[in-house]
A and B are shown apart, each in its own frame.
Chain A
Amino acid sequence: MQNWFQDALVRPSLPARARRAAAAREDERAAAEHVKPSASLAPIERVAIYADAHYARLLGVLQEDYAALRVLAGEAGFDRIARGYLADHPPRAFTLSLLGDALPDWIAAQRSLARRALLADVARLERAMTVVFDAPRESVLSPGDLAALPPETWVDPKPRLIGALELLAFGHRANAIVRATRHGEALPELGRARTHTLVWRKDHVVWRQDLEPAAYAVLAQLKAGASLAVAVSAAERAPDARNLEARVASWFSSWAQDGLFAEIRA
């Protein structure tokens, strides 16, 4: 009985009238077999109350988690994306924060979807914001903590970045698009552009910042566990790698202020 009821309510949602018109005689027969009619509703209409609420609830979660994607795709486009995605990825976890976890990859795989690379980039950024929002807590080094570290720490420092941090490289201006939609501003140029964005959490607030390619390269290396020296060396291959020593010193100071470091090991 539970399998039947669940199948009935997770089918693509259509108004009860349309369901009937769409040759849903088998649905009606099954509903009548399991469910009593009420004084005013047939069994299939009572089941449809759950079916309609089911899709609306999940759509609402995706709309909230992917607000910029919704603006970019338009209401009808977002609805098509949501229906297709939910058909392939029905919710299994108790937490709704995981409902859209595979949406960026799903979009990227939809060959028939117009502007899918752009939509996937924006979805990746919005997903990263959710991941960072929910990331586990951990202690963060303050600038004062860094100043108190023993001198030997700085011979070959190995900084460990906080867990509530995501680094993303895009083929479009994803962060500018998200910013514009959040502020109700006109969308920026939607054409291809190589951009890099840092998403992190500080004091329970999720922040986003566009990065220069070399800064992205340094942080990506640190996130992978490299020492600062190795990270800077790797950044020398970045297209904007010039005067790196001074720039890294400046970045490092900013990153410390922004609470990006959980630990500095010698």
Chain B
Amino acid sequence: MNRTPRFDWPALGVGIGLRTVHYARVLADRPPVDWFEVITENYLATGGRPLHVLEQVAAHYPVVFHGVSLSIGSTDPLDRGYLAQVKELARQIGPRWISDHVCWTGVAGRNVHDLLPMPYTEEALRHVVARIRQVQDVLERPIALENPSSYVEFRSSQMSEAEFIARMAEEADCALLLDVNNVFVSGRNHGFDPYVYVDTLPADRVVQFHVAGHTDKGTFLLDSHTGTARTEVWDLLRHALERTGPRAVLYEWDEDIPELDVVHAEALRARELLERCAPRVKRVAV
């Protein structure tokens, strides 16, 4: 175990996702949220209100970009136009870091707007590592990639998802965003031990955690980002934080989104866990 972070990125504290339904509240009251994560694509290709809101929020809070369109695992060429827009938005806003997912979102020119799982093969690993390096070269900064939730496992896989991501991070020299709810959901769907998964990842490369609620559909767990997180998910976060030390924690709530204070109250369950693993995490000056 290595608790010394590989990246000199601030722990930030406990954040929530910036969502449209909370724009007015955030701008009017500036609630005491440590930081906000924004979906990058919501602020690209627009000169309207979302960008104006983001500028206001970034003036008062640390902001992190979280993308859903990098498609790092696709066999299509990287979308250079998309990367150029992300880079320009980052220049304007100054996010603490930029993250996306270990997944693909389309092939043959299509974009299915879903985070699709990859086969975990040696060939796919070489492919993804090379593309991460290209992305980091274009953006001129390291990126963080998040483990996906998934509902299928491919027969062609030659290693576990955790082994794939661990090797990917080391070989591409990128950071990791560890979504403990995704680990729990995929663990149940595929029958692996979520604690073994967490222990397989290089702790020093984890820069951020995601926590969220999920939905039990009977025959599988759905990563629905709704409601409160199950105790088992918080327990998994505690275990992960004991390995990594304090890191930025983000609570995701994307369906049936309640008032900001409700989301924030759920997120603040992470505060105690952070304080247990390290001295109090101070808010980072903007």
Do A and B form a real pair? yes
Q: Is A12 an interface residue (CB 8 A)?
A: no
B152 and A35 within 8 A (CB): yes
A133 and B110 within 8 A (CB): no
A2 and B74 within 8 A (CB): yes
Contact of A201 among B48, B75, B152 (CB under 8 A): B48
CA distance A184 to B196 in the complex (A): 53
Q: Which A residue sits closest to B124, measured CB to CB?
A: A1
A94 and B69 within 8 A (CB): yes
A134 and B48 within 8 A (CB): yes
CA distance A135 to B154 in the complex (A): 42
CA distance A90 to B107 in the complex (A): 12
Q: Is A47 an interface residue (CB 8 A)?
A: yes
- Which one of B82, B191, B220 has the highest number of Cβ atoms from chain A below 10 Å of its Cβ? B220
Q: Is A185 an interface residue (CB 8 A)?
A: no
- Count, A-B residue pairs, CB within 8 A: 113
Q: Is A115 an interface residue (CB 8 A)?
A: no
CA distance A164 to B52 in the complex (A): 15
Chain B residues with Cβ under 8 A from A50's Cβ? 114, 116, 151-152
Shortest distance between the CB of B30 and any CB in chain A (Å): 19
Contact of A9 among B46, B112, B190, B191 (CB under 8 A): B112
A47 and B152 within 8 A (CB): yes
The secondary structure that dominates the B interface is loop
Q: Is B111 an interface residue (CB 8 A)?
A: yes
Q: Is A41 an interface residue (CB 8 A)?
A: yes
B75 and A36 within 8 A (CB): no
B112 and A54 within 8 A (CB): yes
Shortest distance between the CB of A127 and any CB in chain B (Å): 15
CA distance A18 to B198 in the complex (A): 38
Q: Mark A1-24, 1 if CB is under 8 A from B, else 0.
A: 111011001100000000000000
Interface residues of A (CB under 8 A from B): 1-3, 5-6, 9-10, 33-36, 38-41, 43, 45-47, 49-50, 53-54, 57-58, 90-98, 133-138, 164, 201, 204-206
Interface residues of B (CB under 8 A from A): 41, 44-49, 51-52, 69, 74-75, 79, 82, 104-114, 116, 119, 151-156, 189-191, 218-220, 222
Question: Nearest 8 A-B pairs (CB), nearest first?
Answer: A204-B49, A94-B69, A137-B47, A136-B47, A134-B46, A40-B219, A2-B107, A49-B151
Of the A-B pairs whose beta carbons lie under 8 Å apart in the complex, a sample of 17, sorted by A's number, is: A2-B107, A35-B154, A35-B155, A36-B155, A38-B153, A38-B189, A38-B191, A38-B219, A39-B191, A40-B219, A91-B111, A91-B112, A94-B79, A133-B49, A134-B47, A135-B48, A164-B47
